[in-house]
Amino acid sequence: MNAVVHLPLASRPSDAVREATLGECVGHAVRRYLDDLGDSQCDDLYALFLGELELPLLREVMRWSGNNQSRAAHALGLSRATLRKKLQTHGLI
């Protein structure tokens, strides 16, 4: 069973406007993409969006972990071997 790992957040000004949640940002990006697509044929959107999400996720978690693969793998809920494979796939190592 994977436990939730709370990542530290950078401090923000107290008068900041509420920022969108991750889900809201993804939803906005999907809507924008589909609107831009219009009536064009599309297929395999699921793989496209997962691929687009995975690279920045891996990059930022690796940065957060100080490039410590064990710590990053734990935070992501992946084995270290799976993380290494994904990092290699995306050219991050």
**Where are the domains positioned within the chain?**
66-93
Other residues' Cβ atoms within 10 Å of the Cβ of residue 72: 21
Cα–Cα dist 18/51, whole Å: 28
> pLDDT tens across 34-85, in order?
999 988 988 888 998 888 899 999 999 999 999 999 999 999 999 999 999 9
Nearby residues of 70 by Cβ (< 8 Å), 6 or more positions away:
80
Per-residue pLDDT, 28: 93
Greater pLDDT, 20 or 14: 20
User: What pTM does this model have?
Assistant: 0.69
Query: Does 9 have pLDDT greater than 90?
Result: no
> pLDDT tens across 15-44, in order?
567 788 989 998 998 899 999 998 898 888
**What φ, ψ does residue 64 adopt, rounded to 5°?**
-60, -35
